[in-house]
Chains A and B, each alone.
Chain A
């Protein structure tokens, strides 16, 4: 009986030592998968700085794992703590990411709406502009300019549909700016008639 107890204690002790020496493979895989997911979910575009910090921490943790792995008396405790910290950060980023993407999406939609409003108002302005002496030719040309802007307006929605909110915002801004420039010229033509 006494012999059996000794054996059990010895086996348990070896098990404890061996468990402590084992690489935290599952944890590593989980963290890597979480980082990959948050990246494909858009963190590389909408939270690049945070993602960079996470990747740096993950690299450090993996380096620590590799360093311990080379040793005879392996001590993976600190590496596990580092990995757990990375996992916490990834979880936090994953939770915050939809809000960041939503904010980018809303900003793009807001710009799209502003561009649409500018297009509608300028089209109306052109329609009402007096095509009198000295303006008819200019207004015809400006109608061509506006048609061009209207044609490219569709690209904003295409970018939104493909979830390229940053690209959509850029496109919306350039269309809006162009339409504003056209409106300014239409107003200048109108002012010329009123003189």
Chain B
């Protein structure tokens, strides 16, 4: 009897052991598929591939249901073979989708990087250009707005909000278009070939004059911000200069802060001026008077404004804003003052060639705007 009871207990224990040993575990692919679903969501599956993401989720739900069905069975009869195969396919599908989403995001980031680089280059170019002229508030205002928009777009890209980032960068581009248009407006007459030919003729005449006269001829190039001294047709010296707030405009009347363009003569050397040393020129000349009269008849001169005067080449610094004069650093003014003689010719031109950086850039802006 005792032997029978022991045998029965052993058989029962063996039976339980067999069941335990033969209960197959849930396939590990199930956990991997669930983890993938989380990864896909975090990577933006619902945004970048909504259809495929939903299909993956549906597959995962089906697989879950099958696992539950198997789990409901007695351990001995569970078979995860079919669901395991499904899960393997699902994992492969999910991994492929995850890789594609990551690739798509990387592509979007690269596209944005190119567009951001273009915007940044345009911003830099405009900032450089505004260093050449002082009437730049409108240009700088728009460039500043573009910079802010670009920074905002970069923040959005960091948050993987690529569509809004592209829109914001586009707004930055519009501000840059406006900045370029404002720059073109300021420098438009510099792009006029007829105008430049006139300036070039003045410059050539001045250089020719320097061959025949004993005194030095002074040539001011406004857009290049240079004062060049010629003697015997050769360059004797070159200096950086500063102009007034509206220095690139041709002076028309008193207080317009513009620098006159034309052929002038030094009328006085002032050894101790308010701005270190100064060379007074004979602005307004006859041509200036005619231009003033014509402008006044067209109503372009503010009421009570005269033609102005006291235009000088003086010291005080090339970086300070003059009221229409040509400013130099004091050490350069010492040299210029030494070269200068009363009666010497001073030619002031806007520009001669378009080869210099600023006009070449402005021409690009104009081409860009016309496209």
Contact = CB atoms under 8 A, between A and B. Distances in A.
A59 B57 CA distance: 10
A103 B155 CA distance: 20
A13 interface: no
Interface stretch (A23-31, A86-94, A172-180): A172-180
A54 B350 CA distance: 70
Interface of B: 41, 57, 61, 64-65, 68, 130-131, 134, 136-145, 147-149, 151-152, 155-156, 175, 242, 245, 316-317, 319-321
Contacts of A178: 144, 147-148, 151
A141 B134 CA distance: 8
Nearest to A132: B320
B319 A137 contact: yes
B319 A63 contact: no
Contacts of B136: 140-141, 144
Interface stretch (A4-12, A14-22, A147-155): A147-155
Interface residues of A, number: 33
B353 to A, nearest CB: 24
A63 B144 contact: no
The 3 A-B residue pairs with the shortest CB-CB distance in the complex, in nearest-first order = A148-B144, A144-B140, A133-B317
Interface of A: 52, 59-60, 63, 67, 131-138, 140-149, 151-152, 170-171, 173-175, 177-178, 182
Dominant secondary structure of chain A at its interface with chain B: helix
A59 B317 contact: no
B68 A147 contact: no
Contact of B148 (A131, A136, A144, A174): A174
Contacts of B139: 144
A32 B131 CA distance: 61
B158 to A, nearest CB: 10
Given A59-B61, A149-B148, A144 B138 contact: yes
A133 B145 contact: no
B151 A151 contact: no
A114 B140 CA distance: 23
B155 A144 contact: no
Nearest to B37: A56
A135 B65 CA distance: 75
Contacts of B64: 60, 63
B81 to A, nearest CB: 21
A147 B65 contact: no
Given A140-B245, A174-B152, A145 B143 contact: yes
A155 to B, nearest CB: 9
Given A63-B61, A134-B319, A175 B141 contact: no
B235 to A, nearest CB: 26
Contact of B68 (A67, A131, A133, A173): A67
A156 B155 CA distance: 15
Contact of B152 (A63, A146, A171): A171
A175 B148 CA distance: 6
